[in-house]
Structure 1
Amino acid sequence: MRLLNGQLQDAISMADRAFQFGDGVFRTMRCTGGAIEFWARHYARLQQDCAAIGIMCPAESLLLEDFRKLTPVDAVLKIIITRGETARGYGSPPALEVNRIVQVAALPVYPDNFYQQGVKVRVCTTRTSWQPALAGVKHLNRLENVLARREWSDPDIFEGLMLDRDDQIIEGVMSNVLVLSDSILSTPKLDQSGVNGVMCEVVFDAAMQHGWKVEKRVWKLDEIKKADAIWLTNSVMGLLPVSSLCEQHFAPHTAQVLLLAALKQLRQKEKFAILKEPAMTKG
Structure 2
Amino acid sequence: MDITGMAATRVAECLVNGVPTSAVSARDRGLAYGDGLFETILVRGGKPTLAEWHFQRLALGVQALRLPVDLAVIRSEVEQQALLLGDGLFKLIITRGESLRGYAMPQQPQVTRILQSSPLPSYPAQHAEQGIRLYPCATRLGDQPMLAGLKHLNRLEQVLARSEWQDSVHAEGLVCNLAGDPIEGTMSNLFMRLDDRWVTPALDRCGVRGVMRGFLIEQLAAQGDAVEERSISFDELLRSTEVFCCNSVFGVWPVVALADWQWPVGVHTRDIQTLAKQVLM
* Same-fold call, TM cutoff 0.5: yes
1:200 aligned residue = 213
- The runs of at least 4 aligned residues of structure 1 exceeding 6 Å deviation read none
1:32 aligned residue = 44
**SS of corresponding position for 1:223:** helix
2:154 aligned residue = 141
**SS of corresponding position for 2:219:** helix
Name which of structure 1's ranges 72-81 and 210-219 shifts more when overlaid on structure 2: 210-219
Structure 1: which 5+ runs fail to align? 269-283
Shift of 1:263: 3.0
**SS of corresponding position for 1:161:** strand
1:246 aligned residue = 259
Amino acid at match of 2:27: A
- 2:15 is the alignment partner of 1:3: yes
2:202 aligned residue = 189
Which one of the candidate residues 28, 51, 55 is aligned to 1:16? 28
2:6 aligned residue = none
1:128 aligned residue = 141
2-side partners of 1:146 and 1:51: how far apart? 26
- 2:131 is the alignment partner of 1:103: no
1:276 aligned residue = none
Aligned residues: 268
Does the C-alpha gap of structure 1 residues 88 and 33 become closer, same or farther in structure 2, counting only changes over 3 Å? same
1-side partners of 2:43 and 2:19: how far apart? 21
Structure 2: which 5+ runs fail to align? 1-12
Shift of 1:171: 1.1
- 2:67 is the alignment partner of 1:52: no
Q: Is the 8 A contact 1:206 1:263 kept in 2?
A: no
1:102-122 residue CA offsets vs partner (Å, 9 max, x unmatched): 111111122332112100101
1:140-159, aligned counterparts within 5 Å? 140-159=153-172
2-side partners of 1:30 and 1:69: how far apart? 12
Amino acid at match of 1:28: T
Which one of the candidate residues 186, 194, 200 is aligned to 1:173? 186
Shift of 1:69: 4.0
1:57-136, aligned counterparts within 5 Å? 57-69=69-81, 71-136=84-149
1:275 aligned residue = none
TM superposition score normalised by structure 1: 0.90
Shift of 1:56: 1.9
Does the C-alpha gap of structure 1 residues 256 and 66 become closer, same or farther in structure 2, counting only changes over 3 Å? closer
1:7-33 residue CA offsets vs partner (Å, 9 max, x unmatched): 011121000001100100011111111
- 2:53 is the alignment partner of 1:41: yes
2:10 aligned residue = none
1:198-238 residue CA offsets vs partner (Å, 9 max, x unmatched): 10011122322332131101112222011011111111111
2:276 aligned residue = 263
2-side partners of 1:66 and 1:178: how far apart? 30
1-side partners of 2:280 and 2:155: how far apart? 28
Amino acid at match of 1:42: H
Q: Is the 8 A contact 1:31 1:73 kept in 2?
A: yes
Q: Is the 8 A contact 1:31 1:37 kept in 2?
A: yes
2-side partners of 1:142 and 1:197: how far apart? 14
Shift of 1:58: 2.8
Does the C-alpha gap of structure 1 residues 190 and 111 become closer, same or farther in structure 2, counting only changes over 3 Å? same
Q: Which has the higher contact order (CA 8 A, sep 6+)?
A: 1
TM superposition score normalised by structure 2: 0.91
Q: Is the 8 A contact 1:177 1:230 kept in 2?
A: yes
Amino acid at match of 1:104: S
Between the aligned residues of both structures, percent identity stands at: 36
Name which of structure 1's ranges 136-145 and 209-218 shifts more when overlaid on structure 2: 209-218
